[in-house]
Amino acid sequence: MNEKVRQLKGKLVVSCQALPHEPLHSSFIMGRMALAAKEGGASGIRANTREDILEIRSQVSLPIIGIVKRDYTDSQVYITPTMKEVDELMEVKPEILAMDATCHLRPGSMTLSDFYHKVRQKYPDQLLMADCSTVEEALFADQLGFDFIGTTMVGYTKESEKLKIEDNDFAILREIISKATHPVIAEGNISTPEKAQRVVELGAYCVVVGSIITRPQVITKMFADALA
């Protein structure tokens, strides 16, 4: 683990992403978003696509968790689903490369285990993060050897649709932390500073916060709904 990644311990990572259908979709805007996050005290950035990462790197020197979101017709997996996306990310070498580590088959019916070993063989020195949705998935990814285990997908899969990361004082996170041998990154619906502080107190290596900081349409809707 390099020094930049060590500096993430106990700190905030801000997810700067905007998909093609969203108003802020633009590598230029994501670069400025990352700069604003740094000015606010972020210690790292999570970013989507090679192009966004290149622009973000021109604005900040913070460590980056890199992903590529891409849909395939034969799979539910969309976060760095194939070697094509991995190769794209390795052109810009994010400090950590994250991928879906749920129980679903990848495009071409590839299992997570087969994909993990394929990536490890090609890029043995790259730090890898597993985006999981259940305790079982997290512990399987931990056993495979992922460098970081993330709660990114909790509530976003069929297996976890009734789960929320914050339920019962972050019970899912606490169980994963207590059983995993690799560092656990808290991510997903951590929507207040108090929740961010709590997950670090519970032992999360760091915390990733996205929409509540970087998606103004989501933040605006909260206020508008309250007044409706």
The label of the residue with tokens 């890898």 reads: 128
Q: What is the amino acid identity at position 220? A: T
End-to-end CA distance of the chain: 49
Total domains in the chain come to 1
Q: Which residues contact 145 (CB under 8 A, 6 or more apart)?
A: 116, 120, 182
Q: What is the CATH number of the domain that holds 159?
A: 3.20.20.70
The DSSP letter of residue 154 is T
How many degrees, rounded to 5, is the angle at CA 220 between CA 218 and CA 224?
120
Q: What is the pLDDT of residue 1?
A: 82
Q: Which residues contact 203 (CB under 8 A, 6 or more apart)?
A: 174, 177, 184
β partners of residue 64: 45
pLDDT tens-digit readout, 184-196 = 999 999 999 999 9
Give the pTM. Answer: 0.97
- List, for the chain, all residue ranges whose pLDDT scores fall below the cut of 70: none
Counts of helices then strands in the chain (DSSP H, E): 10, 8
Burial letters for 120-130: b for 16+ Cβ neighbours within 10 Å, e otherwise?
Answer: eeebeebbbbb
Q: Which domain holds residue 180?
A: 3-227
Q: What is the pLDDT of residue 48?
A: 98
What is the token pair recorded at 41? 């005290």
**CA 19 to the chain's CA centroid:** 15
**Separation CA 172–CA 193 (nearest Å):** 19
pLDDT tens-digit readout, 114-150 = 999 999 999 999 999 999 999 999 999 999 999 999 9
